[in-house]
Chain A
Amino acid sequence: MEVDFKNKSRDFVSDVQRSKWHDTALWFVRSKRDVAVMNVDNWEELRNQASNIKEHCISNLDKYLIEFEANAKKNGVYIHWAIDGDEHNEIVGKILKSHNIKKLVKSKSMLTEECELNPYLEKQGIEVIDTDLGERIIQMRNETPSHIVLPAIHIKKEEVSELFAEKWNTEKGNNDPEYLTYQARMSLRKDFLSADAALTGVNFAIAETGEVVVCTNEGNADLGVNITNLQIHSMGLEKVIPKRKHLGVFTRMLARSATGQAITVYTSHFKKPKLQGEMHVIIVDNGRSERLKKDYFWTSLKCIRCGACMNTCPIYRRSGGHSYGYTIPGPIGAILTPNIDLKKYSDLPFASTLCGSCSDVCPVKIDIHNQLYKWRQEIGKNNVLPKTKSVAMGIAGKILEKPKLFKFVFKIGRITLKILPDFIIYNKWNNWGKARTMPEIKKRKNDKQRKNIGKY
């Protein structure tokens, strides 16, 4: 089934109160980000460096992955390679089985969302608890995240309160975020204490030292990993960077871009397992090396998943993350998804005005809006849009070549619907008129009159 952004976003935006609130909440994050960024002397220079490091690394990915693996192994870490999401899940399942694990605590990892790890493990009888507050909320609601950094941004505190009251018997009608967060803390504490393995995502993996770096605010990743004896870190293969010193660039940028903090509360460097513990890192491809093949689009692999492009996107803010129908929504999602299935996600690259705000906000300088434009051409060329649209475009193209016909259509087309129905369908002028008046066609001065205007 194709993702129907058009209808889903319409539903979201037609709940005026909620969509305005969503827009305001995310704009607030964008504003905090602006302040944090202006506090850095050389932000634009940092962006250049971040982009350069990532591009260099991605264009030498095999070399750095091999180096990372070798160094991690020296540290006593087990390294696994997964070609796709299924293999990733199998690997996690096997590791857990071999240790007879019954309960896994997970900190935020978009990769495991991408691989749909939770349902896989649950089928095997393993209890999985998402320990990031936002993730826990959506897990309890049986939903997917609507934002990669703020997974529960679409949910109101009243709904959280209701949910907690139902599941945990908390005070009904107490909507105070502080109270609700404390209740979640109490519940999650029990989960931490009874878990026997932990899984985290990875923000950066360092080739030079074989360590993985995890950036969080809540303390859930570190609690989980340290309380249990078995730690698993799942990473997309693009997460590797050459040297530790490059962390200086990225740790300065990630949290500022994501939430407007100067750095996350915890920036944890996991290098070796604890004394009686085991540490596993799973390197996941899942289509990434294919993406790397694409001449123009490969730079989307630079993404450090800060979410800034979502917060800044005027369309995302008014459409909600679920309208995108993929784990990674927003502008970056719209340039990642066509790699996966051009037809299924063909609506997404069009869900943009190409205003370019995403490209300017992106800490690693992915030219997102240009890629959106290019994806549109791929979609057009491969004819994965409905046929009628394509025919209409052909006619429109012909019209633009011929000035006389063009003038004719412009003047007559709008009024006499019957003459060129395809052109009208393509233009969907009827949609224009629902909440906007049509511009009036005015008689312009002829060339001779024009020659004389402004002449004294």
Chain B
Amino acid sequence: MKIALSIPCFIEEFYPEVADSAIKLMRKLGIEFEIPKGQTCCGQPLANSGYEHKAIGAYHHYVKTFGDYEQTLMISGSCSYHIKEHYDVIEQTGKVIRLRKNIRDLTEYIMSVYIGKLPKVHFPHKVALHTGCHSLRGMRFGVSSELGIPTKSFLTSLVEHIEDIEIITLDRPDECCGFGGTFSVYYDEISVRMGSDKLDDAVSKGVEVLVSNDMSCLMHLDGIIKKRNLPLKVRHIMQVLNGDKL
């Protein structure tokens, strides 16, 4: 099967090390894949700002870049959710349909296919897990706390096998971090407060690292951590699973 790795624009520019760890982990797991050239952005920031009609070009470009692959794995729950859910406004060619059907968040893909085969790694830290909201409530990886059935975090099952990791549950484990794309700059005060509240809770519980499958949430949280000089670090789950040291 021809697999493409899709690296979100902001990871490429700000967190290339996350992409590198993902690549390493995929190779360790024996996943054959390509990284298509000319990747830009899925168009989500535009569409979430009400300019879907101006994002159509970006959609077509994304389809052009990834449409020939049987499976696209993206290092982001949020971007892959956007493509699945909102690429319904362009003409539904065979390529578009296949892309929307087969695009997956890399983390979720690894969990579903490779859960028992992950390399043995160490991560001797106190960790709080954060599933991005689009992954949790959009794609239903895990069960959100609002539903009338017991909650489940899909990240927990991924890190359970790491022997020396200590998982700490936050007071509001699946409350939004406050990023929300352009929300974070339109309504920056509310956005920062949401992030800060989560971080304060983490600090008070002695958490050392916040781990997520969504680097955009972490970008926002890390911005606050650095500004406030909090004793916290952020890591993408790919880095943890790949065995990167803190």
Chains A and B in contact, CB within 8 Å: yes
CB distance from B202 to the nearest CB of A (A): 16
Asked if B186 lies at the interface with its beta carbon under 8 angstroms from chain A, I say yes
Q: Which residue of A lies closest to B54 (CB)?
A: A397
Give the complex CA separation of A135 and B195 in angstroms: 33
B14 touches A439 (CB 8 A): yes
Asked if A393 lies at the interface with its beta carbon under 8 angstroms from chain B, I say yes
Please encode chain A, from 264 to 304, with 1 for each CB lying within 8 Å of some chain B CB and 0 for all others.
00000000000000000000000000000000000000000
Asked if B226 lies at the interface with its beta carbon under 8 angstroms from chain A, I say yes
Asked if B162 lies at the interface with its beta carbon under 8 angstroms from chain A, I say no
Binds B, one of A8-16, A66-74, A78-86: A8-16
Asked if B223 lies at the interface with its beta carbon under 8 angstroms from chain A, I say yes
* Given A43-B148, A314-B175, A379-B50, residue A410 in contact with residue B223 (CB < 8 A): no
* Given A40-B148, A454-B27, residue A353 in contact with residue B133 (CB < 8 A): yes
Asked if A444 lies at the interface with its beta carbon under 8 angstroms from chain B, I say yes
A19 touches B193 (CB 8 A): yes
Binds B, one of A98-106, A218-226, A398-406: A398-406
* Given A357-B137, A360-B147, residue A439 in contact with residue B43 (CB < 8 A): no
A400 touches B184 (CB 8 A): no
Q: Which residue of A lies closest to B78 (CB)?
A: A354
Please encode chain A, from 382 to 408, with 1 for each CB lying within 8 Å of some chain B CB and 0 for all others.
000100001001101110111100100
Asked if B163 lies at the interface with its beta carbon under 8 angstroms from chain A, I say no
Task: Report chain B residues within 8 Å CB of A44.
Answer: 147-149
CB distance from A243 to the nearest CB of B (A): 24
Asked if B164 lies at the interface with its beta carbon under 8 angstroms from chain A, I say no
A355 touches B189 (CB 8 A): no
B137 touches A356 (CB 8 A): yes
* Given A397-B46, A410-B13, residue A14 in contact with residue B189 (CB < 8 A): yes
Task: Report chain B residues within 8 Å CB of A403.
Answer: 38-40, 61
Asked if B90 lies at the interface with its beta carbon under 8 angstroms from chain A, I say no
Task: Report chain A residues within 8 Å CB of B180.
Answer: 352-355
Give the complex CA separation of A241 and B198 in angstroms: 41
Asked if A376 lies at the interface with its beta carbon under 8 angstroms from chain B, I say yes
Asked if A312 lies at the interface with its beta carbon under 8 angstroms from chain B, I say yes
Task: Report chain A residues within 8 Å CB of B102.
Answer: none
Give the complex CA separation of A373 and B45 in angstroms: 12
Please encode chain A, from 76 to 99, with 1 for each CB lying within 8 Å of some chain B CB and 0 for all others.
000000000000000000000000
* Residues 92-146 of A contacting B (Cβ, < 8 Å): none
* Given A350-B186, A435-B188, A439-B15, residue A357 in contact with residue B144 (CB < 8 A): yes
B192 touches A436 (CB 8 A): yes
CB distance from A319 to the nearest CB of B (A): 6
Asked if A49 lies at the interface with its beta carbon under 8 angstroms from chain B, I say no
Task: Report chain B residues within 8 Å CB of A439.
Answer: 10, 14-15, 219, 222-223
B10 touches A377 (CB 8 A): no
A436 touches B149 (CB 8 A): no
Task: Report chain B residues within 8 Å CB of A351.
Answer: 183, 187, 190
Asked if A381 lies at the interface with its beta carbon under 8 angstroms from chain B, I say yes
B40 touches A360 (CB 8 A): no
Task: Report chain A residues within 8 Å CB of B197.
Answer: 23
Task: Report chain A residues within 8 Å CB of B56.
Answer: 397
A445 touches B40 (CB 8 A): no
Give the complex CA separation of A5 and B224 in angstroms: 23
Give the complex CA separation of A359 and B146 in angstroms: 9
Task: Report chain B residues within 8 Å CB of A441.
Answer: 13-14
Task: Report chain B residues within 8 Å CB of A396.
Answer: 45-46, 51, 54
Q: Which residue of A lies closest to B242 (CB)?
A: A454
Binds A, one of B16-24, B69-77, B204-212: B16-24
Give the complex CA separation of A426 and B47 in angstroms: 13
Contact of A354 among B133, B175, B188, B219 (CB under 8 A): B133
CB distance from A100 to the nearest CB of B (A): 50
Give the complex CA separation of A14 and B192 in angstroms: 11
CB distance from B146 to the nearest CB of A (A): 4
Task: Report chain B residues within 8 Å CB of A249.
Answer: none
Asked if A455 lies at the interface with its beta carbon under 8 angstroms from chain B, I say yes
CB distance from A121 to the nearest CB of B (A): 37
* Residues 46-75 of B contacting A (Cβ, < 8 Å): 46-58, 60-61
B183 touches A427 (CB 8 A): no
* Given A359-B137, A380-B52, residue A432 in contact with residue B146 (CB < 8 A): no
Asked if B169 lies at the interface with its beta carbon under 8 angstroms from chain A, I say no
A380 touches B193 (CB 8 A): no
Contact of A350 among B10, B24, B50, B52 (CB under 8 A): B50
CB distance from A390 to the nearest CB of B (A): 8
CB distance from A303 to the nearest CB of B (A): 16
Give the complex CA separation of A356 and B187 in angstroms: 18
Contact of B54 among A394, A428, A443 (CB under 8 A): A394
Q: Which residue of A lies closest to B12 (CB)?
A: A444
Give the complex CA separation of A314 and B217 in angstroms: 15
Please encode chain A, from 334 to 365, with 1 for each CB lying within 8 Å of some chain B CB and 0 for all others.
00000000000000011111111101110000
Give the complex CA separation of A352 and B194 in angstroms: 12
Extra contacts besides A356-B137, A450-B35, A454-B23 (13): CB < 8 Å: A19-B193, A44-B149, A318-B190, A349-B50, A397-B54, A400-B43, A403-B38, A427-B182, A432-B184, A436-B220, A437-B227, A444-B19, A445-B20
8 closest cross-chain pairs (CB), A and B:
A43-B148, A353-B180, A436-B223, A380-B50, A444-B16, A356-B137, A454-B24, A397-B54
6 A/B residue pairs, CB under 8 Å, sorted by A? A10-B190, A373-B48, A429-B185, A435-B188, A441-B13, A444-B19
